[in-house]
Amino acid sequence: MPDFLWWRDGVIYQIYPRSFADSNGNGLGDLPGITAHLDYLSDLGIDAIWLSPFYPTPDADFGYDISDHTDVDLRFGTMGDFDNLLAEAHKRNIRVVLDLVLNHTSDQHPWFLESRASRKNPKSDWYIWQDHIPNNWQSVFGGRAWTYAPEREQYFYHMFLTEQPDLNWHNPEVRQAQLDVIRFWLERGVDGFRLDVFNLYFKDAMLRNNPKKLGLRPFDQQRHIYDADRPEMIALLNELRSMMDSYTERYAVGETFIASPEKAAWYSGPGKLHAAFNFDFTFRRYNPSQFLESIQRWDQFASGEIWPNYVLSNHDIVRAASRYAKGEDDGRAKVVLAMLLTLRGTPFLYYGEEIGMRDISLKRSEILDPPGQRYWPLYKGRDACRSPMQWDDSPFAGFSTVKPWLPVHPNYATRNVAAQLEQPDSILHFTRRLISLRKEYPALQHGAITAMTPKPRKVLAYLRKTHEQTIAVVLNFSGSKESLDSAIQNSSWNLLLSSSTTVGNARSPLEPHEARILVEET
Ligand code: NOJ
Determine the structural domain holding residue 507 and report its residue range. Answer: 448-520
Taking the CA of residue 64 as reference, the ligand 1 atom at the shortest distance is 11
Alpha helices in 325-426 (DSSP H): 331-342, 370-375, 417-422
Taking the CA of residue 316 as reference, the ligand 1 atom at the shortest distance is 5
Does residue 124 sit in the same domain as residue 257?
Answer: no
The per-residue pLDDT for range 28-43, each reduced to its tens digit, is: 999 999 999 999 999 9
Contact (Cβ atoms closer than 8 angstroms) between residue 165 and residue 223? no
Does residue 123 sit in the same domain as residue 213?
Answer: no
Does the CB atom of residue 101 touch ligand 1 within 6 A? Answer: yes
The predicted structure's pLDDT at residue 485: 81
Sort strands 12-15 and 48-51 into parallel, antiparallel or unpaired.
Answer: parallel
Evaluate whether residue 326 is within a structural domain. yes
Q: In terms of C-beta density within 10 A (0-12 exposed, 13-18 middle, 19 or more buried), how is residue 501 classed?
A: exposed
Does the CB atom of residue 61 touch ligand 1 within 6 A? Answer: yes
Evaluate whether residue 163 is within a structural domain. no
Q: Which of 401, 434, 467 is the last residue of a domain?
A: 434
Does the annotation count 440 as an active-site position?
Answer: no
Evaluate whether residue 505 is within a structural domain. yes
Identify which of 358, 383, 379 has the alpha carbon closest to the alpha carbon of residue 368: 383
The active-site residue, picked from 22, 255, 354, 359, is 255
Residue 427 clears pLDDT 80, i.e. is over it: yes
Does residue 356 sit in the same domain as residue 493?
Answer: no
Evaluate whether residue 13 is within a structural domain. yes
Evaluate whether residue 162 is within a structural domain. no
CATH number of the domain encompassing residue 279: 3.20.20.80
CATH number of the domain encompassing residue 130: 3.90.400.10
Q: Distance, CA 255 to ligand 1 centroid (Å)?
A: 9
Residue 15 clears pLDDT 80, i.e. is over it: yes
387: which DSSP letter? P
Does residue 130 sit in the same domain as residue 10?
Answer: no
Would you place residue 490 in the very low, low, confident or very high pLDDT band (cuts 50, 70, 90)? Answer: confident
Would you place residue 8 in the very low, low, confident or very high pLDDT band (cuts 50, 70, 90)? Answer: very high
The percent helix, strand, coil of the chain (3-state, each to 5) is 35, 15, 50
Q: Give dist(CA 68, CA 105) in Å, integer.
A: 8
Q: Distance, CA 64 to ligand 1 centroid (Å)?
A: 6
Virtual torsion, Cα 102, 108, 110, 111, nearest 10 deg: 50
Evaluate whether residue 441 is within a structural domain. no
The per-residue pLDDT for range 162-221, each reduced to its tens digit, is: 999 999 999 999 999 999 999 999 999 999 999 999 999 999 999 999 999 999 999 999
Does the annotation count 163 as an active-site position?
Answer: no
Number of domains within the chain: 3
Residue among 101, 159, 257 whose CB has most ligand 1 atoms within 8 A, to mutate: 101
Contact (Cβ atoms closer than 8 angstroms) between residue 11 and residue 47? yes
Evaluate whether residue 443 is within a structural domain. no
The predicted structure's pLDDT at residue 220: 96
Would you place residue 77 in the very low, low, confident or very high pLDDT band (cuts 50, 70, 90)? Answer: very high
Does residue 66 sit in the same domain as residue 151?
Answer: no
Does residue 137 sit in the same domain as residue 194?
Answer: no
Would you place residue 456 in the very low, low, confident or very high pLDDT band (cuts 50, 70, 90)? Answer: very high
Residue 486 clears pLDDT 80, i.e. is over it: no
- Cα distances (Å, whole numbers) of residue 36 to 24, 33, 55, 194, 399: 12, 5, 20, 23, 12
Q: Which of 434, 461, 479 is the last residue of a domain?
A: 434
Bigger pLDDT: 344 or 484? 344
Average pLDDT, integer, range 246-273:
97
Average pLDDT, integer, range 237-260:
97
Q: Distance, CA 271 to ligand 1 centroid (Å)?
A: 25
The predicted structure's pLDDT at residue 400: 98
What count of other Cβ atoms lies within 10 Å of the Cβ of residue 7? 22
Q: Give dist(CA 16, CA 384) in Å, integer.
A: 13
Does residue 79 sit in the same domain as residue 121?
Answer: no
Does residue 394 sit in the same domain as residue 512?
Answer: no
Does residue 490 sit in the same domain as residue 351?
Answer: no
The percentage of the chain sitting over the pLDDT mark of 70, rounded to a whole number, equals 100
Evaluate whether residue 385 is within a structural domain. yes
Q: Which of 125, 157, 189 is the last residue of a domain?
A: 157
Total-model pTM: 0.98
The active-site residue, picked from 65, 166, 191, 196, is 196
Would you place residue 491 in the very low, low, confident or very high pLDDT band (cuts 50, 70, 90)? Answer: confident
Sort strands 95-100 and 192-195 into parallel, antiparallel or unpaired.
Answer: parallel
Does the CB atom of residue 316 touch ligand 1 within 6 A? Answer: yes
Would you place residue 2 in the very low, low, confident or very high pLDDT band (cuts 50, 70, 90)? Answer: confident
Residue type, 217: R
Does the CB atom of residue 64 touch ligand 1 within 6 A? Answer: yes
Does the CB atom of residue 22 touch ligand 1 within 6 A? Answer: no
Does residue 69 sit in the same domain as residue 210?
Answer: yes
Would you place residue 303 in the very low, low, confident or very high pLDDT band (cuts 50, 70, 90)? Answer: confident
Does residue 175 sit in the same domain as residue 312?
Answer: yes
Does residue 120 sit in the same domain as residue 98?
Answer: no
